[in-house]
Amino acid sequence: MGILSFINGLFGSKKETQEEIMKKFLIVGLGNIGEKYDNTRHNIGFKIVDALVKEYEESFSTEKLGDLAKLKIKGKTVFVLKPNTFMNLSGKAVLYWMKKENILIDNVLIITDDLNIDFGKVRIKGRGSAGGHNGLKDIQDKLNTGSYPRFRFGVGANYRKGGQVDFVLGKWSDDEESALIERVPTSIKAIESFVNAGLANTMNTFNGK
């Protein structure tokens, strides 16, 4: 069985060439829906993809399992997703849109917060464990693999013992808000690099910045 036949068998009946499939991407910002979660540390994935879509003067529409936007980045078709399943059930939305749009797992990028990374720093990897993050855990469970690209945005760990949940669900401080004005555009550049230059180049350029 050729690779294109395998892909079509795996992802459904939509007939596309291998070249067309290779040029499609799914960028997923993780977060929780609802006003009380707006602008919280746990919703940095939403914040980054909101900024990305705004940068390209597009908008989200409410679709199955989430809000979806479609961008063109240098000839590539990029679907941008904000799951509405709540953070801990994100995998269902990711798997649905991968199948619906015939998107390869190497062309998926999951954006989320990370307590173990200093505030504002990014760490991009092609695989790994969920690291205690329930959103990533559900994605790993639904995709049946931990080998998918992920973009972790550091929120730091400036909380007292036992205060982890309140910290990640808390609002950004004034100092953090000011710093995000610079850090979010850097994140957009990293996403563009992932689409245009690939995972390895993006890791080399942006990890630790």
The active-site residue, picked from 42, 82, 123, 183, is 42
Known binding residue 86? Answer is yes
For the record, the structure tokens of 16 come out as 């596309």
Known binding residue 88? Answer is yes
Active site residue 42: yes
Known binding residue 60? Answer is no
Residues with catalytic function = 42
Q: Annotated binding residues, as ranges?
A: 37, 86, 88, 134
Which residues are known binding-site members for tRNA?
A: 37, 86, 88, 134
